Amino acid sequence: MEGIPANEQVASPRRAPTQQRSRERVERMLAAASALIAEQGSDAMRMGEVAERAGVSIGSLYQFFPDKRAIVWALAERYTAESQACISATLADVSDAEGLRRAFSELVDIYYRLFLAEPVMRDIWSGTQADKALRQLELADSRANAAFLVAVLKRLRPGADPVSLETTAFLVWQMGEAAMRLAISVDREEGDRLVAVYKRMALRELLGE
């Protein structure tokens, strides 16, 4: 998984397609699963429904996804890769404190909007708390994202203890995950306030203010 160090990676429970035709079939399966999760949640989704909507046999579905958990895992991997690419690009050119304020605030707002608008992401995110392996995937993702922050902090605070920077960045990112879960579980006005407070708290820690 791009962006996550080898020692932090968690083995995927699904078989990866190698041929173009197989990749296209898997894409249809994942698209069908996403639609069903958006409609009824992952708990209610059934493998037979995924196969029927994707236009494939149930045997073909099981060939790549041995169970429903493997489908959820594949979708989680996809969102993880997309989020890491976004974070890396947004933070890459940050060179001063004001730039970090803008970039970090933008990333938090992007995540907040995504989780307000995307039921599949919300469903997967909440499901990680009950699945130990998915929780490990989320932690590995948080460490990878924290590493992007650490690279910025080392440029802005070259005299700071690197272990302290790594610990702060990792904690800030994990607190962000919790803040997002809380913000989308309450009404929008309160959620907006919670996100704004989180951004202020996180930036104070990151900038050592």
Summarised one tens digit per residue, pLDDT across range 101-143 is: 999 999 999 989 988 887 787 777 776 667 777 788 788 888 9
Residue 5 in this model has a pLDDT that exceeds 50: no
Question: To the nearest 5 percent, what fractions of the chain are helix, strand and coil?
Answer: 80, 0, 20
Summarised one tens digit per residue, pLDDT across range 165-174 is: 999 999 999 8
Inter-residue long-range contacts of 31-40, CB under 8 Å, 24+ positions, other chains counted = 33/71, 33/75, 34/75, 34/120, 37/75, 37/119, 37/120, 37/123, 37/124, 38/119, 38/120
Phi, psi (degrees; rounded to nearest 5) at 159: -90, -5
pTM of the model: 0.77
